[in-house]
Amino acid sequence: MVLLTACGGSTSPYGGGGGGGHSPNLTVQNYSFSPTPDTVTAGTAVTFTWAAGSVDHNVTWDAGPTSPPNSATQMSGTYTTPALSQGSYTYHCSIHVNTNNMRGTIVVK
């Protein structure tokens, strides 16, 4: 399950304005990515951090204006994308996409 939240205006370098930006940091755990940023600023790199005690997960990119490299399958550590260009990116965990619908979307403006 992917949960998107939005806040009011922001002066954050991670988006902001009417749609509300989010920090480009996600946690990978419990068969989910959280929180899923709904908007980050073009040129931002997004970091995924595996929580302690997590099972094997990965970040596999489905679609986007560019194709960031997929992460390794891992139980701990981090994975950081290159700076992302404008557009919508979808991703999933290839191990848990069918059993747990482990997916997410990042919109880069």
pTM for this structure? Answer: 0.76
User: Following CA atoms 7, 13, 15, 18 in sequence, which dihedral angle do they give, to the nearest 10 degrees?
Assistant: 50
The residue with tokens 């902001």 is: 16
Q: Right CATH number for 17-108 from 3.40.47.10, 2.60.40.420, 3.90.1150.10, 3.40.50.300?
A: 2.60.40.420
Domain-wise residue ranges, the chain: 17-108
The residue with tokens 């073009």 is: 42
Q: If pLDDT is split at 50, 70 and 90, which confidence band does 54 have? A: confident
The amino acid present at 42, given as its one-letter code, is: A
Residue 5 pLDDT exceeds 50: no
Angle at 12 between CA 34 and CA 14, to 5 degrees: 50
Strongest mean pLDDT among 6-10, 31-35, 67-71? 67-71
Q: Is the distance from CB of 63 to CB of 36 less than 8 angstroms?
A: no
SS3 letters across 16-47:
CHHHCCCCCEEEEECCEEECCCCCECCCCCCE
